[in-house]
Amino acid sequence: MHKETPVVFINGLIGCLDHSALHKRLCPLPVVVPDLLGYGRLSTVTPCCVNIPSQIEHLHREIRKYAPGGRVHLVGHSVGGVVAMLYARRYRDEVASITSVEGNFSLKDAFWSSSVAKMSAQEAEALLGGFRANPRAWMERAGVAFSQQRLEVAAAWLAHQPSSTVQAMARSVLVETGGDYYHDALKTVFSSVPVHLLAGERSRAEWDVPDWAIAQSASITIMREVGHLMMLEQPQAFAQEIAQILNRV
């Protein structure tokens, strides 16, 4: 592992992966957590510009600020795993490794995206508004035990993007992962870039990883006692798992 190679974290449909535990545990590696289009400081970007191809080009511009001419490690969670894979397909020579944190491999993985994509704008807003009004219930629905610290992070995640962004990304996920092109792209990435798979112990059984991806992966890690939102449940342990994975690169 090169000590100066940045680690770029790519969030899923909701939230932001910028946690102090990642910066501390991965030091001296630079940790980069850029806002995607429609998220955080870019939350006012019009929904028609919020899709996976646009996110890839946006990420490329952001990454070049931190690694001009160099390579980066990509860590993508859920939908962020799709972005990471297709980024590497587009810019494979600029990617040192990928860690897919239960990243979507198929439409089966994108079950929540499928539901949100079919909603009207009003229904999507009501859904996210309900989560924001009661983040504790949202956590419990996701299998995350209550703590005040987790509640504060969950509330920040839910406020990090408008419902129009969530719906635009959900629709783009269905487009990008629904055809044969996506699996062909994944196979190309696996054959040219080290891809590490990271899953939660409670959610691994629901992750639709094809046999060929398991066989070709650089490593497979099952994080104990957590589910899909492992970085919310145990951020320090998640940081430790990422550090150990990158030590293998």
Give the model confidence (pLDDT) of 49-73 as tens digits.
Answer: 999 999 999 999 999 998 887 899 9
106 belongs to a structural domain: yes
Distance in angstroms between the alpha carbons of the first and the last residue of the chain: 5
For the chain, give the mean pLDDT. Answer: 95
Does 2 reside within a domain?
A: no
Query: What does pTM read for this prediction?
Result: 0.96
- Please check whether residue 89 lies inside any domain of the structure: yes
Tens of pLDDT, residue by residue over 75-110, are 999 999 999 999 999 999 999 999 999 999 998 888
> What percentage of the chain's residues is helix, strand, coil (to nearest 5)?
55, 10, 35
Whole-angstrom distance, CA of residue 86 vs CA of residue 106: 14
> Residue 154's domain is classified under what CATH number?
3.40.50.1820
Distance CA 92, CA 86 (A): 9
For the record, the structure tokens of 189 come out as 């990435």
> Is 234 part of a structural domain of the chain?
yes
> Does a structural domain hold residue 92?
yes
Residue 34 belongs to some domain of the structure: yes
Record the tokens describing residue 110, joined without a space. Answer: 């994108």
75: containing domain: 7-247
Domain assignment present for 61? yes
Q: Is residue 3's pLDDT more than 80? A: no
Give the CB-side neighbour count of residue 32, counting CA atoms within 13 A.
Answer: 21
Domain count, the chain: 1
Task: Please report whether residue 205 resides in a domain.
Answer: yes
Q: Is the pLDDT of residue 17 over 70?
A: yes
Residue 2, pLDDT > 80, answer no
